[in-house]
Structure 1
């Protein structure tokens, strides 16, 4: 029987098309989602008040033309605003609040003519990172013409507490989303662990059923909790009328839409159906894993990490932390469910498959816990300004509770790991298997408890944000010490930009003896071009041998020479010269908006890189037995690399500290 022309070539072509569909479509979807999610965002989390002009609690002889606010992160224009209330609670007419297009953290409330009185300034913000809403207020007094304080008191306004816990509804919904992420990621990772390399064998039918069922429950929990969280947010911000505007016109809304779209794709791939099998063949779990990875990234893109300096690094570490936690916790919950089903059905598991499952999960759990320890330590450095924040802030105390629960889980996991080391005996003995199943179930239950602490933690304001009434406190890009005569002159210029700066000088002696009575500290400014002459600025004493002043003396970028003149009673004058490079406005803008600068400004970048290299050097040592069993030549290469990383990291860290 003859074939139609070209019929024989059609099968290879169709097979190639199917392979491209199986590999290409999910990859394109994944790449498109990650491209949108990885677009640079100079953002922070929780829009808290940093400073205001006039200052909170100010008493003014003349009413201001406007009230200006600076917040801890960019604001969403749609649901951010401010108003001013009189002593009887009446709203005073004012202009429309406006956000500075060049500085999205800056909000201005124009005022019309107001009479002397006691007023309450109320502001409401919506974070452009995670969509957290925040309400705050402060009193403002306009004095009578004779300078006396007018009668009346500020209105009490319901506000969010600076360091308070999040609402119970928010914590519950976030707990559901964390549980959903674990139930989705854990089974997918376990399926991958069960498939032997270079083998097309699928897991046991019972295991396959538990994998798909648990993952479907997880994705449904994620989808439901996402919509419910956004619904609660919409109700707080004014009701359901603004739901669509909140969803479509804000960054948190767009992130939610992307996440829900990706999760819908995961759901369609996981449910038993014919079209997914035909379209994706055996790569359905891989496609679901790719879409799940992109969906999880939306959580990190709207987490506390996005509020940190160097948010790009912080978000990447937070994402790795989230995935590792989901693999570990989700795999453990999956294992507990599987063992429970086997016990209820009184079915004997396939010994070979169970031994493979337990040993591979044990190895993956060890790696995940190692990653969690490193990324968690890094995140603590990013979010906590000092060790005392662990005790004195709500965020720190919740973090301590989380760490205590983690220690309990790891202690229980230690005993479970002993049973895994004797996996052959454990799975063949009903008594040992029941005992092991109970311990795994207990460990999974504690993990569910851990998720409660995490749900509260991720929604609690971090202590690295400046206090509400503090003046602007930018980083100190210029910080130099000079020695002249018997004095050590410490000069700080912040923010070291063209225009207005703050100049701070501290005087000391190398032997810590008294420096004498200082009569005058004066700065002389001279630009390298020599075209602007010399300017001078006298600094005011702050006490304890510190002096400061502000002014717009650096009126051009380039290299400046700052001379610090110190006059003391009965002692020689000192003139210390310090070179101060001032970056251009464009350079400052580029650096300040970059998400890839040092995520822990109080530590030198060399220290962070050195710590990372030292951590990497420990990997071959921790899993040396597995590496030796896999390949002796490979293990030798990795051991040599570990030694190199260890020495390099130690040298970098020491160089930064010395």
Structure 2
């Protein structure tokens, strides 16, 4: 048999000349949203022995790599803000008498940040998915990343950016036309879609909806923050009172639409990725989302003050007041971008809550002068648990026939007296049973095995139940 991969089935050959005993298989795969997922299981050859120590879960990521990935994401989002907002304002709101040189620098800085972030993402995806260090990147790994959906999305983004350079040059120079704007709009749609196609939305329960909603979320963020940046850095300082009187009401409507899109898209994303109140409150993803919602609420409060200044005309006559309010918005939203960068590399709450419910695997070996007992309990959580017991000779060299088994479970801390566990013999040395553990805590399991007419012994173990 040769190693082969067919859909979700992997066939791997193993060494046929291995000693008898129990072996551990660890695996690491890349999920549809480009994140590593791992696990492991044991199997025995000839006889069951003490399982190997618990191995790497398979999904651990080098700390430096994980930090670099989040940083690259943040720089990419910052690049979007610096690119989209200035392009939009220069195209539709910029007074003709004002020079475009300085705002153009923001645009090209945004270009540079997005391209750097995308190239860094391609490089980091290799050690991120393989579990290696920052510079543990080889040609085969890069080829695998480039051939994945994640790689295709990143390469498409770079292609869109390179094509957009030709269309943005006329905007920077103030010589753009309708055709330039329409082609740039088409490129922007494709470019924005590359972010959700390389992340969680591509693997959600309803991918088309999630991808579209995430793209709307990104567009709204980039328009809102990019426009605010142009206001605070340039327009509120350089434009005249008459110009601000014309610009600010238009920008206020844009900001309202952007914030509405941000909130609506965030609501739909939350429903798709969270799924339940328990998932919202008990997972890292849910708590990060709550922190993001709190920060956005604070930003909206400041934005309401800014809008009041615009609607009452105070912003046009006292631009310094409006400028301070906008600066506060930008500082808070910079923190929001940081939280978002962490969110996109955190297991979605819907998935995390399933993993929590699956629980863990408790395994131990108890030995005395009469026997060695292998104890396995799954999932080691509140509720019903499956118990498997394997009896061996004291030296664990071979299975041991047991004449009679008795198991009790108790929780002294909660005054739960020993309850006998019904057992089903599968072989002379292997029994199984279902244990009801309705309360979390340190449960005491007591095992009594009679191996002959007169030989009997009891062993105990404490099992932490979550």
For 1:289 and 1:364, the matched residues in 2 are separated by 17
Q: Deviations over 1:414-452 (max 9, x none)?
A: 1111111123x4333xxx322221221121111111100
For 2:245 and 2:99, the matched residues in 1 are separated by 14
For 1:389 and 1:426, the matched residues in 2 are separated by 43
- Deviation of residue 221 (structure 1)? 0.9
Which of residues 311, 316, 319 in structure 2 aligns to 1:427?
316
**Per the alignment, do residues 275 and 179 of structure 1 end up closer, same or farther by CA in structure 2, a change over 3 Å counting?**
closer
Secondary structure in 2 matching 1:167:
helix
> Quick check: 1:136–1:159 contact (8 Å CA) kept in 2?
yes
**Per the alignment, do residues 207 and 390 of structure 1 end up closer, same or farther by CA in structure 2, a change over 3 Å counting?**
farther
**Per the alignment, do residues 227 and 288 of structure 1 end up closer, same or farther by CA in structure 2, a change over 3 Å counting?**
same
Report the aligned-residue RMSD.
3.3
- Deviation of residue 181 (structure 1)? 1.1
Secondary structure in 1 matching 2:22:
strand
- Deviation of residue 271 (structure 1)? 3.8
1:417 aligns with 2:307: yes
Q: In the alignment, what sits opposite 2:220?
A: 324
**Per the alignment, do residues 282 and 212 of structure 1 end up closer, same or farther by CA in structure 2, a change over 3 Å counting?**
farther
Q: What is the total number of aligned residue pairs between the two structures?
A: 352
For 2:307 and 2:64, the matched residues in 1 are separated by 36
Is there any run of 5+ residues in structure 1 with no aligned partner, and where? 1-93, 195-201, 472-540, 544-658
- Deviation of residue 205 (structure 1)? 4.5
Q: TM-score, normalised by structure 2?
A: 0.67
Secondary structure in 2 matching 1:136:
strand
- Deviation of residue 542 (structure 1)? 13
For 1:271 and 1:245, the matched residues in 2 are separated by 33
Q: In the alignment, what sits opposite 2:80?
A: 181
- Deviation of residue 332 (structure 1)? 1.5
For 2:64 and 2:275, the matched residues in 1 are separated by 19
1:218 aligns with 2:110: yes
- Deviation of residue 123 (structure 1)? 1.3
- Deviation of residue 143 (structure 1)? 6.7
Higher RCO (C-alpha 8 Å, min separation 6): 1
Is there any run of 5+ residues in structure 2 with no aligned partner, and where? 131-135, 360-433, 437-466
**Per the alignment, do residues 384 and 456 of structure 1 end up closer, same or farther by CA in structure 2, a change over 3 Å counting?**
same
- Deviation of residue 229 (structure 1)? 1.3
For 1:121 and 1:301, the matched residues in 2 are separated by 32
> Quick check: 1:176–1:222 contact (8 Å CA) kept in 2?
yes
**Per the alignment, do residues 387 and 151 of structure 1 end up closer, same or farther by CA in structure 2, a change over 3 Å counting?**
closer
> Quick check: 2:125–2:145 contact (8 Å CA) kept in 1?
no
Q: In the alignment, what sits opposite 1:296?
A: 192
- Deviation of residue 413 (structure 1)? 0.8
Secondary structure in 1 matching 2:222:
helix
For 1:296 and 1:417, the matched residues in 2 are separated by 28
For 2:24 and 2:149, the matched residues in 1 are separated by 30
Q: TM-score, normalised by structure 1?
A: 0.49
1:462 aligns with 2:364: no
> Quick check: 1:207–1:338 contact (8 Å CA) kept in 2?
no
Q: In the alignment, what sits opposite 2:161?
A: 263
**Per the alignment, do residues 158 and 208 of structure 1 end up closer, same or farther by CA in structure 2, a change over 3 Å counting?**
same
1:136 aligns with 2:38: yes
Q: In the alignment, what sits opposite 2:28?
A: 124
Which of residues 390, 415, 421 in structure 1 aligns to 2:280?
390
Q: In the alignment, what sits opposite 1:245?
A: 143
Q: In the alignment, what sits opposite 1:646?
A: none
- Deviation of residue 255 (structure 1)? 1.6
Q: Deviations over 1:143-186 (max 9, x none)?
A: 754xxx42463253364259x99921111110111111122121
Structure 1 outlier segments of 4+, above 6 Å: 272-276
**Per the alignment, do residues 274 and 323 of structure 1 end up closer, same or farther by CA in structure 2, a change over 3 Å counting?**
closer
1:230 aligns with 2:122: yes
Which of residues 53, 57, 76 in structure 2 aligns to 1:154?
53
For 1:157 and 1:542, the matched residues in 2 are separated by 28
> Quick check: 1:216–1:270 contact (8 Å CA) kept in 2?
no
Secondary structure in 1 matching 2:305:
helix
Mapping of residues 597-608 of structure 1, within 5 Å: none
For 1:112 and 1:373, the matched residues in 2 are separated by 56
